[in-house]
Structure 1
Amino acid sequence: MSSHGIVVNSFQELEQGCAEEYEKVMNKRVWCIGPVSLCNKESLDKFERGNKPSIEEKQCLEWLNLMEPRSVIYVPFIWVVKTIGENFSELEKWLEDEKFEERIKGRGLLIKGWAPQILILSHSAIGGFLTHCGWNSTIESVCFGVPMITWPLFAEQFLNEKFVVEVLKIGVRIGVEVPVRFGDEAKTGVLVKKSKIVDAVEMTMEGGEEGEKRRTRATELGNFARRALEEEGSSRFNISCLIQDTMKH
């Protein structure tokens, strides 16, 4: 089966010429029409995006509203970060044994289950995002001007990390060097030590002059992302081109 072109959830200003090069290599049209996550404008739309969240919108927003601007780190998928290969019941036991919820009471919110990521990342209280660098999460963080702490596990996540840290310069590596192989998760062992996490968090949330530069660049990219979907924006233009090309073929 052949295709006429490729639709990409990104925007021209972020790709910095990569989309044009990809178009040449593939010999196909490439349309950057994103970020699609910015199509959700209202809080309820952001809350309901993706799977059904396991927390009420009001509860989530009330907690975030109590926090100072850029003072919160969003850490999804603790059951993956904690230890690869354990099942959810073992994670529950770990949470209980470590009194995790008690220790974070008043300074953290634990969501057991699916979290409304767009709603969270778009809130002004969020100052950092610990991510495995899947593309959806990466582009969503860019959309809302949130610097990233990168923790790739496998596949293209390492390439996305390189893009975030070395090209965009809006991320801090946590230090993972070895990919996790499906089926061998339990054999992998500890990928990152506590001290590395502490260092990455401090560099992201503070980080002196370099930290300020990262935050400024992240904010600028977020502005570019929003403009891309405006009336005269690059993604809006590409959507029109995609529709016209589709009608021709």
Structure 2
Amino acid sequence: MADETGSRRPHILIVTVATPGHFAPIVQLLYHLRHQGNVTVTVVGGGPLLDQLSKLHEKGEFNDLDMHFESIFGPPPPYPDPKFPVRAATASAQWEVEFQGLKKRLIEEKGSPSAPTALIADLFFWWTKEIADELEIPWYPFSTPSTWFTLSALECTTLQRRELHPVHSAQKHEKLDLPGLFGYVYDLCAEVIEWPEFYANVAHHSLRATGILFNSSFELEGAAGSLSAVVQLIEQRKASEPGKPLENTKVIPIGPLLNISGSGESPTEDEKDEALKWLDTQEKGSVLYIAFGSMGNVITDAVVNLALGLEESGVPFLWVVKAPPGQTAEDILPEGFQARIQGRGFIETGWASQSRILFHPATGGFLSHCGWNSTLESLSAGVPMLTWPLSADQMQNARFLADVEKLGLPIGEGPPEEYFTTVKKEDITRAVKRLMISEEGKEIRKNSLRKKEVISETVGEGGSTYVALRELFNELLTV
């Protein structure tokens, strides 16, 4: 479509994954984009998340951004693993089929004033490069997990050739020796090895993108070096296989994209919920916050020992408890637990405003599954973490926190599948006290506060993320 001057208006097509962890950074990107003025955005997705975004738009959350929605994706096919219930390969294959009708329409409308001028898609939607090429527009895959997970996906052929499976490999206890991948072989995501064709496609197409967007920054990653390793992979690809000008792939770190000041926006929350009111009664830095992400009841096997360990630690805590379907928190917590911890502990069984909890002065630690969004929120708040990874990129996220940057402590040692159900209440108590009470914990808290300042400078005016976002928007809006 044309604007008032008769020029073609920029039209950005954004294809999203219908799961919370991947969808949230897209929402924050839209909050930034709303300040750019004369631009049309079409968000492709499905399910409750897209509905919620549409309602935010109706309420005026995105100013005058000309937004449209295409709800075409159904729920992802379930996978029988409560710790990792959605597999990228199977979900992407389903959504590729569901995309075909829109793809046909986009091709038919190619050349019209309202046709897309750029395409941003989740990294797992490698097949959207084909429609971008057909429309002759720039293509930007968006890496919403951590950079090291994306790097392992880009290095999938090497990992598969060397049989570096985190569970079944004879080398699983060895340290990783690939640039930008740290920790041990058992920290890798098994999915990258188990779906070789899918991840080979992700790697092949991503290394030929206009630019790869990362929810990270060089400063945030520090010594990890994963973004630099991706740059090296792209340079190796260019040297061995020179591509079209459109394929002069760039690394574009635009993170952290979060619902915190300077990193996007969030809907206005005028009233405090009961959890926040309870935090108001606690001493500064005294409370341990416990939550395991948006994917549900992932630690019920260990919930009793976690409860008893928290109780024995003597540390105040705020715990978001998600019971399995058909059960309540009372069903899975130890008998009499809630009565015994009344006043010192707060059990939240509904929705919790995680960013507001983490930024509350009373919050002094975060026991987490180490999903990337939760990790970024905690780092941005300067809150050190106790790491209890469960799946996907979480093992390397935890390794980054505990070993690379000294921003947290592990609940257990060794491969997660070996300590996940064997961790004892004594292990919980010991880890909680180390983080919240000991001198070691105080040093980790200082490190976390320093990282908070680094992130604040990165997203602030003149910082690398601030600059990268504006350079990206300049590219997207130039047609």
TM bucket, shorter chain: 0.7 to 0.9
Partner of 1:70: 285
Q: How far apart, in 2, do the equivalents of 1:29 and 1:75 lie?
A: 37
Partner of 2:436: 205
Work out the percentage of aligned pairs sharing the same amino acid: 36
Summarize deviations over 1:90-118 as a string: whole Å, max 9, x none. Answer: 45343576123212211121111221111
- In terms of fraction of residues, the more helix-rich structure is 1
Partner of 1:102: 339
Q: Which one of 415, 419, 422 corresponds to residue 191 of structure 1? A: 422
Maintained 8 Å contact 1:134/1:160: yes
Taking structure 1 as reference, are residues 61 and 243 closer, same or farther at Cα in structure 2, changes over 3 Å only?
A: same
Matched, 1:15 2:233: no
Matched, 1:142 2:379: yes
Partner of 1:171: 408
Q: Which one of 222, 232, 238 corresponds to residue 24 of structure 1? A: 232
Question: How many residues align structurally?
Answer: 233
Query: Displacement of 1:147 after TM fit?
Result: 0.5
Q: How far apart, in 1, do the equivalents of 2:302 and 2:375 lie?
A: 21
Summarize deviations over 1:31-63 as a string: whole Å, max 9, x none. Answer: 22222225447xx94786xxxxxxx72423221
Maintained 8 Å contact 1:47/1:119: no
Partner of 1:232: 462
Q: How far apart, in 2, do the equivalents of 1:164 and 1:135 lie?
A: 11
Matched, 1:216 2:446: yes
Q: How far apart, in 1, do the equivalents of 2:359 and 2:334 lie?
A: 33
Letter in 1 for 2:376: I
Tell me the secondary structure at the aligned position of residue 212 of structure 2: strand
Tell me the secondary structure at the aligned position of residue 191 of structure 1: coil
Residue correspondence of structure 1 range 88-99 to structure 2 within 5 A = 88-95=325-332, 98-99=335-336
Letter in 2 for 1:67: Q
Maintained 8 Å contact 2:284/2:361: yes
Maintained 8 Å contact 1:95/1:101: no
The higher relative CO (CA closer than 8 Å, separation ≥ 6) is in 1
Unaligned runs of 5+ in 2: 1-128, 130-204, 236-248, 304-322
TM-score by length of 2: 0.45
Q: How far apart, in 1, do the equivalents of 2:333 and 2:424 lie?
A: 21
Residue correspondence of structure 1 range 26-41 to structure 2 within 5 A = 26-27=234-235, 28-37=249-258, 39-40=260-261
Q: How far apart, in 2, do the equivalents of 1:8 and 1:195 lie?
A: 39
Q: How far apart, in 2, do the equivalents of 1:133 and 1:35 lie?
A: 15
Partner of 1:184: none
Q: How far apart, in 1, do the equivalents of 2:220 and 2:329 lie?
A: 39
Residue correspondence of structure 1 range 154-165 to structure 2 within 5 A = 154-165=391-402
Maintained 8 Å contact 1:132/1:152: yes
Taking structure 1 as reference, are residues 91 and 189 closer, same or farther at Cα in structure 2, changes over 3 Å only?
A: farther
Q: How far apart, in 2, do the equivalents of 1:189 and 1:213 lie?
A: 27
TM-score by length of 1: 0.82
Taking structure 1 as reference, are residues 235 and 38 closer, same or farther at Cα in structure 2, changes over 3 Å only?
A: farther
Maintained 8 Å contact 1:71/1:125: yes
Q: How far apart, in 1, do the equivalents of 2:302 and 2:368 lie?
A: 15
Partner of 1:117: 354
Q: How far apart, in 1, do the equivalents of 2:460 and 2:420 lie?
A: 47
Taking structure 1 as reference, are residues 248 and 212 closer, same or farther at Cα in structure 2, changes over 3 Å only?
A: same
Q: How far apart, in 1, do the equivalents of 2:266 and 2:402 lie?
A: 30
Tell me the secondary structure at the aligned position of residue 395 of structure 2: helix
Q: How far apart, in 1, do the equivalents of 2:420 and 2:273 lie?
A: 38
Tell me the secondary structure at the aligned position of residue 414 of structure 2: coil
Taking structure 1 as reference, are residues 93 and 84 closer, same or farther at Cα in structure 2, changes over 3 Å only?
A: same
Maintained 8 Å contact 1:46/1:118: no
Partner of 1:51: none
Letter in 1 for 2:231: E
**Could you say what the CA RMSD is over the residues aligned between the two structures, in angstroms?**
2.8
Tell me whether 121-130 or 79-88 shows the greater mean CA deviation: 79-88
Letter in 1 for 2:371: G
Maintained 8 Å contact 1:145/1:221: yes
Taking structure 1 as reference, are residues 228 and 89 closer, same or farther at Cα in structure 2, changes over 3 Å only?
A: same
Maintained 8 Å contact 1:145/1:220: yes
Q: How far apart, in 1, do the equivalents of 2:336 and 2:367 lie?
A: 22
Partner of 2:201: none
Maintained 8 Å contact 2:382/2:451: yes
